Structure 1
Amino acid sequence: MSSNFGIPPSNVLAHLEPLTLDVPEEELEQFKNLLKLSNIGPTTWWNQQEDTRFGVSRDWLIKAKDIWLSTFDWRKHEAYINDFPNFKITIKETDSCQIDVHFAALFSKRKDAIPIIFLHGFPSSFMDFLPMMDLLRDKYTPESLPYHIIAPSLPDYGLSGSLSQNLEMTLERAASIMNGLMIALGFDKGYVAQGGDLGSMIARLMSVNHKECKAFHVNMLTLEPGSAPPSTDSLAPEDLRILERTMKWRQDGLAYALEHGTRPATVGLAISSSPLALLAWYFTLITRLNFF
């Protein structure tokens, strides 16, 4: 059924390479061996607390490691990903730099279909949008689908590549690449960008810096650094309660973001050394974000 949604518009401006994800078995075995050899630190007072105040607990990590090794089935998830049309496309960022971008898609055959690009955040991936795409392909046919759905892996994430080891991937550059993706797919007349978390920042920049982005929707919006906070005099009691909760979260839930922003090299090298290190770090991020 998904193959019917995998036919791109006739005005695509670049070569699309269909992608079937197939991680080599030797890489999966290497990963599993690394996971087996990843030690879990000794018991401390802090890592015995189950309320996430201090991050992941030791017992949770022990159980997660066991599930990962004994019952997790990567091939099942791989088959789910491959059940959707996936592609890779080369986007030129500058005359000397280009990048391979992966995306999953549902293409419509309607002439008036609205192109929408969905931008994930961190820690996340394009897979966030597959359940939504599942609903859409159950509800519509390629002839009736009112949208073109484009769900890319952001540059430097997952199945997408990097521009260069000698270039910093800034938000502006990522927005330019995502806009280039939509233009290459033939949507130069206009498209909509939707994003959450990091994707919300990129979507906003696409709408500001690129005329092809006609509208955007975000589920996270932050004030510019240095912006004066608005008055709270007219807020309802419920809004004041939410604001108070947010201020508390800023005191004890923002440490990971400060580490990411100030020491990204250290964090990247540390958590890429072990699957369990990565999982423990993700746990901390997700539990802090779920505070809301």
Structure 2
Amino acid sequence: MSRPTSDVQAFEAHATDADLDDLRARLAAARLPEAETVRPATPGRQRWEQGVPLTDLADLVHYWRTGYDWRSFEVRLNRIGQFRTTIDGLGIHFLHRRSARADATPLILTHGWPGSIAEFVDVVEELADPEDADTPAFHVVAPSLPGFGYSDKPATTGWGTGKIAAAWVELMGRLGYSKFAAHGGDWGGVITTILAGRFPAHVLGIHSTLAQAPPGMTTDGLTAAERAWVEENRDFWLNRVAYAKQQATRPQTIGYSLVDSPVGLLAWILDKFAEWSDTEDSPFERISRDRILDDVTLYWLTRTGASAARIYYESHNSLDPELRVDIPSAITMYPGDAEKCPRVWAQERYRQIVRWRVPEAGGHFPSLEVPEYFVKDLQEGLTAVLATRSGGS
């Protein structure tokens, strides 16, 4: 391992009482629209055809104002350990939990949008110090993407996924981790792919819940289930990516609403928790209101609705079609996720898939939807990755 540097400073999260009072006042004064005109008699996905239903949003706004406890989330963040460092002129915030185990492997976890480090708070402890001594342990690092959470907001263009991946290598080196494993989903999956493809000397192997095949793949040889995935993906890109097009082309415009209105921010993010979770009707079937509000409140208090949206402007559809990953990879395709890639397609980019799983349940936010499975899958996937690496070295 390289030596840690002194360029890392401890950090604690603590919102002012004035900011929390302001949030509650804005929620109390919110102007809500009339109900959607699609109101089926029974619960189901149809209720969400026009977006977040009024009754669901009104109930959650009320709970956010009267029942939700942000301070308890701050305590959890601070208990894990928070830090900041400056890379290429930008302040980067991250969680860092060192394992007590001497055989622990450094691991960087990268979130996406509309997620945040809030996705990982409940799984860090078990990854760092598992109860079973035979289970692998990790020194866990979970950064906030540039423009997200307590990381700085870029003041110029250029902070796309490629630059972020390079910054992660620098970050891990500063912590004394010259070689490490990596996991990610959503934008974190793209960044993890770039880490593996561009920096194989530093990355021991990866685990990802997102696999993006090179362009030009055909459906020849796919199973019926995989063909269904392809059709779902096509429908997603044709009919359900208005949010991505908006953030990729006009992030500043939507940003005014996301930074000024907590209800607007909540609706914008809740819509994706609902659509991308493996549920029949509501995201709250699998994710508690508190866990979703941890994420949304982090966006609100840090005023990062606009700056986080800009990752789409910087990186939408920008993954190098020629990029290949030759180091060991473990990939999990959760059935309720928005995009799923057939293995035969993924193998065109990820040349050494040592473990491939399609669980029975879970969606885009597995660490929140199925946390116990997520942890076990990540542990087992990285065990396979590291064993392959050891066997080949």
Task: Give the TM interval when normalised to the shorter protein.
Answer: 0.7 to 0.9
Structure 1 position 41 matched with structure 2 position 33:
yes
| Partner residue, 2:23 | 31
2:94 to 103, 106, 126: 103
8 Å contact from structure 2 (residues 127, 137) kept in 1 = no
SS of structure 2 residue aligned to 1:131: coil
CA offset digits 1:211-262 (Å, max 9, x no partner) = 32232221112234xx2122x2322222223333333333332221222222
Q: Which amino acid aligns with 2:79?
A: D
CA apart distance, 1:122: 0.6
Contact 1:17 1:88 in 2 (8 A): yes
Query: In the alignment, which residue of structure 2 is the partner of 1:283?
Result: 270
Greater Cα shift, 210-219 or 200-209: 210-219
2:236 alignment counterpart: 249
SS where residue 160 of structure 1 aligns? coil
* 1:271 partner SS: helix
1:257 is paired with a residue of what secondary structure? helix
Q: Deviations over 1:147-203 (max 9, x none)?
A: 2111111111101113x4123321112112212111111112x11121100011111
Shift of residue 67, structure 1, vs aligned partner:
0.9
Q: Aligned ranges for residues 1-292 of structure 1 at < 5 Å?
A: 11-46=3-38, 48=39, 51-91=47-87, 93=88, 98-108=89-99, 110=101, 112-136=103-127, 139=130, 146-162=137-153, 164-188=154-178, 190-210=179-199, 211-224=201-214, 227-230=215-218, 232-290=219-277, 292=337
2:43 matched residue in structure 1: none
The code of the aligned residue for 2:174 comes to A
Matched AA of 1:107 = R
Evaluate the alpha carbon distance shift between residue 23 and residue 10 of structure 1 in structure 2; reply closer, same or farther with a 3 A threshold. Answer: farther
Question: Structure 2: which amino acid aligns with 1:58?
Answer: L
Deviation, structure 1 residue 286: 2.2
Instruction: Measure how far apart 1:90 and its partner are.
Output: 2.3
The runs of 5 or more residues in structure 2 that have no matched partner are 41-45, 278-335, 338-393
Contact kept, 8 Å, 2:80 with 2:96, in 1: the verdict is yes
What is the CA–CA distance in structure 2 between the aligned matches of 1:141 and 1:89, rounded to whole Å? Answer: 33
Could you tell me which amino acid in structure 2 is paired with residue 264 of structure 1? Answer: P
Q: Contact 1:110–1:145 at 8 Å: present in 2 too?
A: no
Q: Does the CA contact (< 8 Å) of 1:86 and 1:102 recur in 2?
A: yes
Counterpart of 1:81, as a letter, is L
Query: Following the alignment from structure 2 to structure 1, what is the Cα–Cα distance between the partners of residues 109 and 146?
Result: 14
Partner of 1:6: none
Q: In the alignment, is the contact (CA less than 8 A) between 1:55 and 1:283 conserved in 2? A: no
Q: Indicate if the aligned counterparts of 1:117 and 1:192 stay in contact, CA closer than 8 A.
A: yes
- Compute the displacement of 1:66 (Å): 0.8
Listed one character per residue, the Cα deviations across residues 50-92 of structure 1 (whole Å, up to 9, x for unaligned) are 621111111111111111111111112222222212222222x
Counterpart Cα distance in 1 of 2:53 and 2:229: 28
State how far apart, in whole Å, the 1-side matches of 2:132 and 2:213 are. Answer: 40
CA distance in 2, matches of 1:139, 1:44: 46
Query: Are the aligned partners of 1:256 and 1:285 in contact in 2 as well (CA < 8 Å)?
Result: no
What RMSD over aligned residues (CA atoms) do the two structures have, in Å?
2.5
Identical aligned residues as a percent? 25
**1:110 shift after superposition:** 4.9
Given the two structures, how large is their TM-score scaled by the length of structure 1? 0.84
Letter in 2 for 1:222: Q
Structure 1, gaps ≥5 residues long: 1-8
What TM-score do the two structures reach when normalised by structure 2? Answer: 0.63
CA contact (8 A) 1:14 1:185 kept: no
**Structure 2: how far apart are the matches of 1:87 and 1:72?**
26
Distance 1:243 1:109, change over 3 A: same
Q: CA deviation at 1:208?
A: 2.5
Alpha-carbon deviations, 1:7-28, whole Å to 9, x = none? xx99312333222211111111
- The structure 1 segments of at least 4 consecutive aligned residues displaced by more than 6 Å after TM superposition are none
Distance 1:133 1:195 in 2: 14
Q: Residue 90 and residue 52 in structure 1: after superposition, are their counterparts in 2 closer, same or farther (change >3 A)?
A: same
Task: Please state how far the C-alpha of 1:282 moved relative to its aligned partner.
Answer: 0.8
User: How many matched pairs?
Assistant: 272
